[in-house]
Amino acid sequence: VFTVSEAIADFVASDIILVGGTISALNNSGIHYTTTFTPTSNAEGACSVSVLTGSFEDLEGRANIVDSVFSFTSNTTGLILYSSGSTIFTKAMWQAAGSPTSFELGTGWTEIGTLAFKQTNIASITIPASVTSIGEGAFESCTTLTSITIPASVQIIGKEAFYYATNLTSVTFAAGSGLLTIGEGAFSSTAITSIIIPASVTSIGDEAFQWAGYLTDVTFIESTDGAAGITFGTDVFANT
């Protein structure tokens, strides 16, 4: 969305300088101009959308006097890299990368944020060993996700992280898992048939596996370091 401070006469798509993609038709509604940027397919790198000084004029013939540049990084190759700034991966970042359905997160991300993929159509994701937390509702209602491998670095799976991922049949915890907490309702209403709980787990929240109606095999790996055991919430395996 481009917003100007007053009515202008000659702002057109050709006034917009693009790097790394294309835009759809430019639509005008008063002082607001809208378009959709589509990153170049099967490519990665810097993208920018710019409107430079002198590109257009107002109704009195005065040109714009400030450059407007929006820069970001896009990757449509299936690998979403971490560059700098926040290490929490969000839905906005996924959308900026072209909303891929099968992809890998690059090393550097430390958390999959709250609701990051809720109700999206992702089919597969590779989570890097730098991630330590999967946020609340991160994969909620991801009905096209069928399997997930949780790297050993993950310590916390948040509340309802995979809730109602109704076609999720396989959850694998990587060897050497350091998982501590499986949050409330984390795998509720999934289609998993078996689960191996790592020895490191100390807490499983209320209803964590409730309504996982195909779950018939649960294995707990015995701790070898003298850990006190697991604290269970209520109805952890109810209706399974």
Around Cβ 46, how many Cβ atoms within 10 Å?
Answer: 11
Asked whether the beta carbons of 37 and 23 are under 8 A apart, the reply is yes
Residue whose C-alpha is closest to residue 212's, from 233, 236, 188: 188
Judged by average pLDDT, the poorest of 48-57, 64-73, 85-94 is: 64-73
pLDDT over 90 at 224, yes or no = no
- Residue 210 tokens read as 């409730």
Asked whether the beta carbons of 207 and 182 are under 8 A apart, the reply is no
- Residue 213 tokens read as 């109606």
What's the mean pLDDT when you consider all of the chain?
A: 91
Global pTM? 0.70
Residue whose C-alpha is closest to residue 176's, from 229, 134, 123, 224: 224
Average pLDDT (123-137) is 97
Average pLDDT (65-82) is 76
Determine the pLDDT at residue 149: 98
Residues found in the chain? 240
pLDDT over 80 at 42, yes or no = no
The fraction of the chain above a pLDDT of 70, given in percent, is 95
